[in-house]
Chain A
Amino acid sequence: MDRRSFLKGTGAAGLVGVSSGLAGPALSQGAAARTLRFVPQANLANFDPIWGTQYVVRNAAAMVWDTLYGFDDTLTPKRQMVEAEQVSADGLTWDFRLRPGLKFHDGTPVLAKDVVASLTRWSARDPMGLMVKALQNELVAVDDRNFRWVLKKPYPKLLMALGKNSTPMCFMMPERLAKTDPFQQVSEFIGSGPMRFKRDEWNPGARAVFEKFADYVPREEPNSWLSGGKRMAVERIEWLVMPDPATAAAALQNGEVDWWENPITDLVPQLRRNRNIRVDIADPLGNIGTFRMNHTTKPFNNVKARRAVLTALSQEDYMRALVGDDDKLWKPLPGYFTPGTPLYTEEGGEILKGPRNFEAAKKLLAESGYDGSPVTCVVAQDQPITKAQGDVTADLLKRIGFNVDFVATDWGTTGQRRAMKNPVGQGGWSMFHSWHAGADCINPAVYNAIRASGDGAWFGWPNIPAVETEVANWFDAPDLAAEKAVIARLNKAALDNVVYAPTGFFLGYQAWRANVSGIAKGPLPFFWGVSKS
């Protein structure tokens, strides 16, 4: 070999090396169009939707695990895995038949015994499931495709329980997984939904990957939220976790991601200016801002102190702190149920309407016998929603005349502290801030926060028999008119006794690249029907 041919050879080898090192774009154009890159609201740190009930887990799980029924955009439960159902005349026996051809991602067929095991696990964790379980006489697989649920008492809301989108949703798993203790994580992530979870590509905190399940048989009906044909238009969905909203905004503008679930309001004007980006409301059911007062300790164990707060509370102050000047994003909420849904009512809401009356609030506080002792106001600073609300509350309380002990902490600590029933000053608390998804406030069945059963109620432990009576009446209500009448009474009783303080109703945005189509507004991101050009 002479010097020249040696140089040619090594040069060519070098070029090959460099070009392979340079490596073109990771995805070809065709592959890029088949891959949807999505920035979720939070990190998918675990993936058992019954064990962990965070919304981000539910949202990912809805792709991987299918449900027997699913809510459509009118909040009506529609058949999904179920082909037909029949209820006996006395309302006690429900017979269900599964659709033919349903398969799990490991290739095994979905059988009635899988459904029975899944229902058993779900009903140990879900509030509605627990109610059904309490009424259950028998839940059995009749054969491979049929199962029967026999109750001791009619439960008219059964299909709603099976199709609702509040957490934990009633997902179907293989029997071997569904037999896992509901308070422990499943060891595999095998479902029968339209996408398979790529566990080998899962990097918790960074990335989760889903791949189209070729054997999925969608329903014939057009899709609407969790119902109808879940037809996937992309082959692969990558969830890219971005803790910093500014980074997510820049990545969307730069075309590095296709869809961002929850852009913060401050960045929306910047996104709107980009002609390659579309911005719209994410979930028409929105959210309800809240703070809960501790009904078991002074001063909020006295209803007058709680009403003093509501008398002076300006929901506009809270909402502007949360969403700024965008009036499309909020509305006052003189009640507890989600605006725009069938059971919404303002009965008893006068206390939250009209000009705020600080003099009346001070008078009520004096009548409550408040002695000036500190009110421990727990505010998670790492959640923008709780932080903004907490700042407004601190000012509100001071103006009424409370002695505020403002505890700035993080969400993890709030989660622990709010469960403590100790007196204030010994680790206890007087109030904490939170928010509820509107989808979880459409009726009492999915609405833990409205319950007022004392020790068994949500944090703050309100004990208001009038509220619980109406909740029971709602479950037995025969039709929508009767339900509305019950809910009006419930709303009034809850506001009169201040189960919690609603700080207003607010919406959020979602944003996506202009080459993505089929994105729906809904309480969770629906990936079926979403395509990319």
Chain B
Amino acid sequence: MFAYAVRRVLATIPVMAIVALFVFSLLYIAPGDPAAVIAGDQATPQDVERIRASLGLDRPFLVRFGEWVWNILNGDMGVSIFTNLPVTTMIQQRIEPTVSLMVLTLCLAVSIAVPMGVIAAWKQGSWIDRAVMGFAVLGFSVPVFVVGYVLAYIFALELDWLPVQGYTKFEEGFFPWLENLILPSIALGGVYIALIARITRATMLEVLQQDYIRTARAKGAGQRNILFLHALKNAAVPIVTVIGIGIALLIGGAVVTESVFAIPGLGRLTVDAILRRDYPVIQGVVLLFSFVYVLVNLVIDLAYTLFDPRIRY
């Protein structure tokens, strides 16, 4: 398995190279001009042109791309056009809130959605099943920002239990950290819970029809054991796959959630950079997200071996 993992890690190199070329080309051909944003609305066309030249944006595509790739290979993601700060510094400033939000959402979603799906499958056709499926439809249908506003209105403005916005670093205390993340995690987790609950239910229904489940029942195994030991473990592969795929959902959702709850994370950094055309930051963040996604897929592939002994690499 170690050799397989190494091969997969090596395989990320061409993937990342293609992503890099794609992102750079896309930004090159996309309209927009950071020099115009920097110069301000009162600037003359000559001012804008001089700023563009000073930023090196007037150089040919291949020169700029070659320089960027060379810097990346040397571990340098460049410097933000606007803040003059290294992109790595900006990512470091923003990574903790986003990782915190995603981890908490993931924990929350898995711990709620998997039991929900299992119980819905167990009680197929009952009101519990219908309630779970109804919740799943809602989770898919209601946009993250609507859930965010409603939660903020109820729990922050009306009840005054939680803050509306912001982020407290983990090192400043677990509860202040948690306090700022509860509402965003619930808002972001809705769609994720819905996705996992549905797939868990569907997979469990299939597994519960299998002969070995009937055998377990015939042997007098308890319902809990049947559901969580025999059935869930065998249903785990598709569930884990969906959890992994859902990371992309979380990345996308984090952009909206971080804006609604004013969390200074990577999502907001990405949006701000796109609106300003801060090319080095956009390129850096997209590369990072791509790398994380590739890595998550690798971890999921490796995790299959834990749930299904027939899978060998």
- State the A residues within 8 Å of B (CB): 20-23, 26, 43, 45-46, 51-55, 125, 127, 166-167, 181, 183-185, 187, 203-207, 240-244, 246-248, 250-251, 253-254, 256, 382, 409-413, 415-419, 434, 436, 440, 448-449, 456, 458-459
Q: Of all chain A residues, which has the CB nearest B265?
A: A206
Select A244's contact among B44, B50, B260, B277, beta carbons within 8 Å. Answer: B260
Q: Which residues of A contact B34 (CB under 8 A)?
A: 412
Q: Of all chain B residues, which has the CB nearest A455?
A: B45
Interface size on B, residues (CB 8 A): 58
Q: Which residues of A contact B109 (CB under 8 A)?
A: none
Chain B CB count within 10 A is highest, among A23, A52, A205, A251, for: A205
Distance of A436 Cα from B175 Cα, bound (Å) = 46
Q: Which residues of A contact B278 (CB under 8 A)?
A: 45
Q: Judging by beta carbons under 8 Å apart, are B156 and A254 in contact? A: yes
- State the B residues within 8 Å of A (CB): 31-34, 36-48, 50-51, 53-54, 80, 82-85, 90, 93-94, 149, 152-153, 156-157, 160, 163-166, 168, 172-176, 259-262, 264, 268-269, 271-272, 275-278
For the A-B complex with A205-B268, A256-B166 known, give 9 more contacts whose Cβ atoms are closer than 8 Å: A45-B278, A54-B38, A125-B47, A183-B47, A204-B85, A243-B268, A250-B157, A458-B42, A459-B45
Distance of A434 Cα from B37 Cα, bound (Å) = 13
Q: Which residues of B contact A440 (CB under 8 A)?
A: 42
Q: Which residues of B contact A419 (CB under 8 A)?
A: 33, 36, 45, 48
Distance of A166 Cα from B51 Cα, bound (Å) = 20
Q: Of all chain B residues, which has the CB nearest A241?
A: B262
Beyond A205-B268, A247-B164, A412-B276, whether A240 also contacts B262 by CB under 8 A is yes
Which A-B residue pairs are the 4 nearest by beta carbons?
A415-B36, A206-B264, A23-B173, A53-B40
Distance of A529 Cα from B166 Cα, bound (Å) = 27
Q: Which residues of A contact B149 (CB under 8 A)?
A: 246
CB distance from B123 to the nearest CB of A (A): 39
Select A26's contact among B83, B84, B153, B176, beta carbons within 8 Å. Answer: B176
Q: Of all chain A residues, which has the CB nearest B31?
A: A413
Q: Judging by beta carbons under 8 Å apart, are A167 and B173 in contact? A: no
Q: Which residues of B contact A416 (CB under 8 A)?
A: 31-33, 36
Q: Which residues of A contact B272 (CB under 8 A)?
A: 43, 45, 205, 243
CB distance from A414 to the nearest CB of B (A): 8
Q: Of all chain B residues, which has the CB nearest A250?
A: B164
A-B contact pairs, 12 of them (CB 8 A): A21-B173, A23-B176, A52-B38, A55-B40, A127-B42, A181-B54, A247-B262, A254-B163, A416-B32, A416-B36, A419-B36, A448-B42
CB distance from A290 to the nearest CB of B (A): 10
Q: Judging by beta carbons under 8 Å apart, are A167 and B165 in contact? A: no
Q: Which residues of A contact B42 (CB under 8 A)?
A: 53, 127, 166-167, 440, 448-449, 458
Q: Judging by beta carbons under 8 Å apart, are A413 and B32 in contact? A: yes
CB distance from B165 to the nearest CB of A (A): 5
Select B259's contact among A167, A181, A243, beta carbons within 8 Å. Answer: A243
Beyond A23-B175, A254-B164, A419-B36, whether A244 also contacts B82 by CB under 8 A is no
